[in-house]
Every structure is written in C-alpha cells, then in structure tokens.
Structure 1
C-alpha cells in the first residue's frame, strides 16, 4: 500500500473525524492540483483495502468497528428509535434494531450511525442495541421559529423531531424578531438532559409572508438555489457560441413533421415526436430529445454544478432548475419553429407493436406544432369532417396515428406484466402571493399515456443497445420486492374483501389494481402496494425493472432536468461518433453517481411534498371549525387518517375526537376500529364528514373531529377471501367483519376469570 493511501486511512480513522467529500479531504491533507491524480488512485486503494468506505452522499467514512453495524436512525414519538440496517444486512439480522432514547447519544432522525447489539430483547424478540458513533449527519441545517426567554434566543425547529427549542445565544442577532422563521446550523445536537446549541445563519421573515414558506423548504432540504457566477458565465458563453445553422455531424430533420405535447404550465420542452407508417404496415417512431450534452461538456463548471444538483426541483411556487435557464429554458428547449439540436431514437415497430430495429442519431429538428395535454384528445376524437382551427390535416393524422400506436404498445406492455399504480398527484391553485385558493388531483388521460409509452419505448431501446454493446451505464433499477412484503400485502387486501389469488403473479396483481379502481378502497390499496415494492434507484447493476417488467431500462428522455439522462446522452453520442467524444465512467464512479442521483431525486420529491403540505395546512388554518367530506385512508390504534374529497389533504381523527357514544378497539387484522358496544366498524375506504379541529403548520399537523360516519359496503362478493391461497393452512380462517367484532368473545372471557376466582376462594 502506498504511503498516501496509509495517510488517508490514518486521517479518516482518527477520533472525532467527520465524514467529508474527497475534495475536502484532499485540502486537509495538503494535496496540490498536480498530485490530485495520485490522491484519487490512493483513495481507491484505501477503499479497496476495506479500511474506508463511501456514504450514499459521496463522503469518505471509516470502516465499521468490529461487532458494530451501519444503519439509519428512525426516531419515533416517544424519543426512542429504530435503526434501519444498511444492505446487505448481517446474517441473522433481518429486523430493525430498537434503541432506547438513553442509548442514542446525540443521534437524530435520518443520521447514519454505527450500532452494537445488546443481550436484551423486546417482548416480541426484537433485538435491542446502542449507538456507538454517528457516522454522518442527515443535516446540520434546520428551519424553525425564533423565540426569546431568559434573555436568550431560542429556535423551535419545525416538525416533530425536536420537542425542545435549541439555544442560539444572545437575542436579536441579525435583526431577528420573535415569531420570525429562521435558519440555524446545529453546533451541538441535543441529548437526553442536555439542550442543543446552534447558530442563527439567516432570517427568512414572518410565516405567512409571500415566499417565506418556499425559502423554508429550500433551506430545510439543502437545495442549491442560485447558480455560482462561473457557472452562469459558462452558460452565457455557450449561448454566444450557439449557431443553429451549423449542422456539422448532425442529421438535418428540420423539414420533418414533429410535435411536442406538454403540460400547459411547462417551461422547458425536452422531448418531441415524429411518426410514419411505412411498408408492411410497420411504424417508424422518432423520439427526439434535447441534446443537452452539446452544451454541457464533461468536467466543466456547468457539468459539476449539474451533477451536484442531480435534478431540477419542481416546487409548487418555484422551479429550481438543474441547469441555468439560458440552457434549460432557451438553448436546449424544443420551442416551436426554432431549430434545436437533439438526440434522436428511431424505432421501427411491426404492425403488432413489436420493436424490429433501432437507430440513433445526433440530429437537428424544428418543432412543427406545440400542444398542451388538454388539447390532444379532442382533436383525436373529432370527426374527420369536423374542422379544427389551427390544426392541419397532416397534424391531425399524426396525432391519431400516435394514439393508435401508443395504445397498441400500452396493451403489449401490460400483457407482458407491467404494473401501474394510480397515485393521484395533488396540484395547488395559487394566487399572486403564493397562497392556496384551492387544490385538485391532476388528471391523467390518454394524451399523457401517448407520451408516456413513447418515452418508455425510447428508454428501453437505449438501455438494450448500451447493454448489447457491453457499456457500463446508469440503469433505472427496480429490484423485485421481498416475498414477505407481497404476502403481507395479499393478506391486507383479502381483509378488505378483494381477491388476490397469487401475490407473486404480475397478472394477478394487475387484476387486483383494476378491480379496486373507482372503489373507496382504491387509494389505500395503491399505497399499500407501493409500500410493498422497493424504491427505484439509479445503479449500474443489472437487476431489471420490476414494475415495468423490463430487463433493460434507463432514463434517456429528460436531460434538461435529470443528470442520469445527461450521462446516458453522452454514451449514446459516443456510439454515434464511434467513441470519439466520451469514454464513460468506471464501475465505482457509476455506483457513486447512482447513489448521489437517487439521493437528490428523493430529496426533490420530499421537498415538493413538504411544501405542498405546508401550503395546504396554511389554507386549513383559516378554516378551523368548517366541515368537509373525506375518505378514510389509514387506521391505527390511536385513531384514523382521512383525506378530503374536495381539497385532497390528509389529517388525523384522534380516538379522542370520535363521538363518546361508543368506545372503540383497534382490530389490526381487519385494519378497523370496532365499537365495543355495537360492533360498528370504522375502516379503510369509509366516507366521513369531519370538522377541522386544529392546525399546527410548524409541527405539520392537521387534526379533524368526526361528525358523521358512513360505513362502506364490502367491495367483493362473500367468499372472495375464502378463495385466496394466501390464507395459509387448510382450515384456517380469515377474519371477516363479523369475526372481527370482539364484543361476543368478552362475556365468555369474563366467565372464565370469575370461575377461576371462585375456585381460588374455595
């Protein structure tokens, strides 16, 4: 082992070392630019020795101490935590490890830690442990509300992870006022019996002021917002150098009829479609994707910034792009009537929709016409004799052909075993100040399905070609779910009254999802199914894509907003140019990049959901006491969750907010609250009328009070559950609504106990 590799290991394994990125470690070790190549080689040598490792965020960490295990902290309301072990899990440890709050040290929710096992177990046999060391913090930056007490400044962090405020020193720093939303950086995390300590870094303003909630989320999730000057300068230089008439080494498709179909509110347009019917009844589909790789070269400041961001973030009030707008909304945006550089995938399909041949091209197109999703289906469904203003006969024919081929591909995809969960996306109606005036679930009709099918076809075609060429690339991987989770899902839907004959069968899962469509239980079943599946991620590993039923799949169609797509474009370009422009990355770099892009993608999704929740809570805050109609989406021992019908926000009806005329017990098997006196059931899918009882925006809480409950009827025929083979051994019984009523069993239990007492007295 080289001396430099030994130095790296020695530094990383020092007491008190905090995980850092390679660039930071190089500075700490005094590595000059001339020696960076040697440093990277030594870093790889140290990693291969097993003495150091890389976190998902790309930071360098020491190896686990003997007998300790690496995992993520998930704190619960009591202050205790479960440690979710990293894959691959140690032999014999399949469950999460329980850690008492006194054994957590200063570990917080989401932190990566080393944990050791204790001899004791919980009542059900679950292993207990204690935190040895915090390896990497989920974050050091938090958003909260400023307050003053005992001549000191304090910040109550938003959410429920920190019940006690954090001390931030002398009051009035940075002109802060009580009640302001602020950003702090944690200096010392709180532990049992000791307050946390932080430093106030930014004052955002009073909650409720326009834009403050958006800034809260940007800082809470650490999303890079403004672009550095050197990145903007590179983008401006690309704009100056762009010549749309210079088509050297590009296939000129500017005379081809090409259309785009996007949301009305779309700001960047990165995909366009052409389609021809050719001989033998075959189809020639052209999927033309903005060639971002032309403007963003590997190793440039633009490229490094795009990789750091990983993805664009689409908040309800603001888009935070992966690339400066001069590129994302200008040079690379496929605007109508403008020549734009593209990467084209031409796929020939048989009359039956079977892919026959694929060709890729560095091209230039000029979009003939742009459509919003809402405009497409009326055109397709219109009678031939019915004139449509602004749409030529050629375009009408193109749209109808697109619909015909897309529905054919869709039919074949589902026949192959592809799954589709109906997960409604909440969209907000906002006024000029960003306040919610209403909310709705986004529509998803056949116009969306047209583009969806063509994008899937292109992604599959690219992945198949790269795989055939033996090139390492970032796949969009979706591993098969664990059998235990599918079995639990099967038992859950059987309890609801639906039939799932073979939970391992994609066709039976498809049939189930079709059967719940339009029922009150639809959302609960779809969410339960989603929780049964593993998360899709970016990885060079060839694990396939379970939900799409594809062995080879990658993301190619959105390089303006996703870095993995840009990576794929460079590889496709290298194929077209005979490997002159880009040679790809090593397997280790692909694993690191995959982890990073998966992390930034999930961060963006969480940020969007959280800001949507905050805005909906603010909307309800002004409506405490109003009545709304809702559908029950989850049932727990402490109450039930329900989602508004007109405004799709989810809140809790605590058991104490259910009318006192009846007391309820939780029946876990039936996923219901059962009345002790009447046997009435409150279960998933039931409609309720609730009153908005209380709202706490800072804690992200919405509480309802039950007014009226309408029990849903069983969605399947009697006996449907009996047909399910997931019931277990012959003769075992699945609980139905009658069996779930516990009140009939209680008298006999009382008689037994009283008889035992009498015997003791005798």
Structure 2
C-alpha cells in the first residue's frame, strides 16, 4: 500500500487544512493536523486560532477532535438509510441540522461482501448505521458501514400545536417538561394529534421530527403510550435482540440434565387475562397432616445466557410492565409468551423447589433443582377458588377438575 505523500512542514494554509481533512483516512482533529504538519509550541496555538476562524467563515465544521469541511460529512458518523435507487442503498446523516444551508448530503452505501456466519445483517430503509465516509474527487459521497445500530428506543411524545404564524410545536405530555419543542418535520401529523417524535440536529433549536402519529390523545390506547413515554420505559427491542431471540427459543431441552417432573400434575394459577405464565405449583398430603409440594418457576436463564444481547436488554428493562391494553415485556414475545411461559401440555425448563410443610404449616425441609415440567392445567384464580370451594366446573374450558 503506497504511503501518503509527505506534507510540507510548518503552519498550513486554509486550503492545505481543507485538503488534509478531506484526504485523511482517519478523523482529522486539531491533534492530527498539528502532527501532519509538524507543528509545535506556538504554532499549535496559531493552528487553534486558524481552525476557529475557518469554522466562523463556514469552511469547516465539527469539533477539535474531528473536523470536516462545511456541507460535508464527518469521517465516521451515524447515517440513516433513506432510499433505494436502482438497487443501491442511499443514506443521509442521522443528525443533520434542518437549519443548515442546503440539503443533507446523500451517500451511496457500499455494503461489505462477506460470506459465512460473519456476514452482516442486510440493511433496509430506516436502518441506522455507524459508517466511515469517503468523498470522491467528483464530490460524490460513499458510506462504508462499520456497524448496524439498534433502533432508537426512546422518543418524545406530545401533541401537535400550530401557532399564529403557522409554525408547528410539540406540546409535551410530561408535566415536568415545561416548554414546547419546535417541530422541524411533522410529516402527516395534524394539529391536535398525539405523536411520537425524535430529535434532529445537535442543538435544542434544531427541533424534532414526527416519526409516528398516534392519533386522538383521549383514546384509551393513548394513555398507555403516554405513560410509556413519560416514564421512559424501553418498548422497542433492538434488532440484535430480535435476531437473537428466535435462535435462543430453538434451544433443545434435555431430560438428562434436569430432574424429570413431567409425571407430576403441576398447575399454573394466574389471572384470567394473563399473557404469560411464570410459575406453577403441585402439592399432596404427606399422610401426617402436612404436605409435600413443588413450586416451579420458568427457567428463563436457560434461554437468556449471560452477556448476550438478550441479557443486556433484560437487565436494562428489569421487568415486564403491564397496562390495561398492552404489556411491555422484558423479553421478546417468542420467549416471554412462548417457550418461557408455562403452557398447559408443553414441556418447559423450570427451576423447582421441593418443599415439605409440616402439620404446623412450617417448612421443615427444601431443596432446589433444575427441572423439566409439563403443566397439567392453566387455570384462573376464580376457577381455582371454585375448586377449593368444591364447586363443579364445566369441562373443556381449560379448568383443572378435582378428581
């Protein structure tokens, strides 16, 4: 690989700084520029003043650690795929300031051609990427993806308001936020509608753009979404988590590594509208006034391994959050509502506690084990109480019937 031409040593001109920034293979900040031109002592102070002047003159943009020419794109930056043109992906800077002169640069995305297990996930419109950028001699821009970024999980929620001048504002639903935010792009949103938005640009005055129209702020579904936004509850799973979840769900259970408790008629008792079933119980008299019992908890750790994307996201969420019309789960649905849910008639991984409760109602002994269980019935609290009270239940409704 040929070495880059040696630059003239000493204080550079404005054009030499621009040429170096554009041709550098790495982000070019004050330190890199000083090193390239062999600057020392007072010359570094002069360079700092020169860079400040060039920024004020509109020649360069960025920070002291990474400059780029005004109207250009940083060497390494976040982009969003916005279009597909004749099979080529087109991206724009993700944080382009709408008040900046001209339209945002459009970059042709050059996806790396790799084979095998390490092949990166295919990109599509709307995806965000971290990319290394390159400006050609003709002035065109090329983006070389370094990493596909997770979908944004945070958003700003508010109601669209239009002032007397016709300018759109996002009035916050969170009472702790006292000021409305200017809307740079409201898309199809209309005045009075509840919307979800995201920030654009680096400054507060750059405003926000609407990414989703919820609709009537007084509709029942809106109250749950307002609570999610107000409390900052993560409700969108990153792509890497969604890609990992189906693979984890396919892990095979082995009765050799677990105590086989499938012969026990264990039942899961939950609210009638429960979306998943985390725990279950079995008990029988011990003949001495006490009981032998087993409490089984879904063994989520079998599917969510330490350090995995699923593990990181679960730690971030901490728990599932329930609303009247929806649930924000800790894990993707393929896990939370399927293989990690103790469903009737299905083999499931569980953590089980064997208990002995004596005639005085005290736990006299216990032991824990990893187990394989098969739930005999999923029943509602009301049905369970009816069984305890000796009331007969109609068969065929998933109820557990006393023998």
TM-score (norm 1): 0.30
Say whether residues 1:262 and 2:270 are aligned partners. yes
- Tell me the equivalent position of 2:233: 223
Return the offset for 1:289: 0.8
Q: 1:323-346, CA deviations, whole angstroms, 9 ceiling, x for partnerless residues?
A: 111111111211111111111011
Change (3 A) 1:388 1:167: closer
- Tell me the equivalent position of 1:396: 402
SS at match of 1:326: helix
Aligned residue pairs, count: 244
d(CA) in 2 for partners of 1:196, 1:187? 9
- Tell me the equivalent position of 2:146: none
Return the offset for 1:374: 1.2
Change (3 A) 1:167 1:307: closer
- Tell me the equivalent position of 1:173: 186
Contact 1:282 1:351 in 2 (8 A): yes
Change (3 A) 1:205 1:284: closer
- Tell me the equivalent position of 1:280: 288
Q: 1:284-308, CA deviations, whole angstroms, 9 ceiling, x for partnerless residues?
A: 1210111111111101111111111
Q: Of the candidates 148, 162, 172, which is equivalent to residue 157 of structure 1?
A: 172
Contact 1:166 1:197 in 2 (8 A): no
d(CA) in 1 for partners of 2:377, 2:267? 5
Q: Of the candidates 327, 333, 342, which is equivalent to residue 325 of structure 1?
A: 333
- Tell me the equivalent position of 1:204: 213
Contact 1:204 1:212 in 2 (8 A): no
- Tell me the equivalent position of 2:374: 366
Contact 2:186 2:210 in 1 (8 A): no
Contact 2:271 2:381 in 1 (8 A): yes
d(CA) in 2 for partners of 1:169, 1:329? 38
d(CA) in 2 for partners of 1:268, 1:203? 29
Contact 2:160 2:193 in 1 (8 A): yes
SS at match of 1:225: coil
- Tell me the equivalent position of 1:429: none
Change (3 A) 1:183 1:296: same
TM-score (norm 2): 0.54
SS at match of 2:297: strand
Contact 1:285 1:348 in 2 (8 A): yes
Unaligned stretches of 5+ residues in structure 1: 1-28, 30-139, 189-194, 398-762
Contact 1:166 1:196 in 2 (8 A): no
> Which protein has the bigger strand share?
2
Q: 1:362-384, CA deviations, whole angstroms, 9 ceiling, x for partnerless residues?
A: 1111112221111122222227x
Contact 1:152 1:167 in 2 (8 A): no
Q: 1:347-372, CA deviations, whole angstroms, 9 ceiling, x for partnerless residues?
A: 21110011111111111111122211
d(CA) in 2 for partners of 1:345, 1:307? 25
d(CA) in 1 for partners of 2:167, 2:269? 56
SS at match of 2:402: helix
SS at match of 1:359: strand
SS at match of 2:334: helix
Contact 2:393 2:401 in 1 (8 A): no
- Tell me the equivalent position of 1:292: 300
Q: Of the candidates 245, 263, 273, which is equivalent to residue 235 of structure 1?
A: 245
Describe how 1:446-485 pairs up with structure 2 within 5 A: none
SS at match of 1:306: helix
d(CA) in 2 for partners of 1:167, 1:379? 57
Return the offset for 1:266: 0.9
d(CA) in 1 for partners of 2:394, 2:334? 33
Return the offset for 1:187: 9.3
SS at match of 1:265: coil
Change (3 A) 1:380 1:280: closer
Return the offset for 1:169: 5.4
SS at match of 2:311: helix
d(CA) in 2 for partners of 1:231, 1:156? 33
Unaligned stretches of 5+ residues in structure 2: 1-64, 66-153
Contact 2:170 2:183 in 1 (8 A): no
d(CA) in 1 for partners of 2:210, 2:158? 12
Contact 1:181 1:205 in 2 (8 A): yes
d(CA) in 2 for partners of 1:286, 1:378? 22
d(CA) in 2 for partners of 1:280, 1:147? 72
Change (3 A) 1:381 1:236: same
Return the offset for 1:276: 1.8
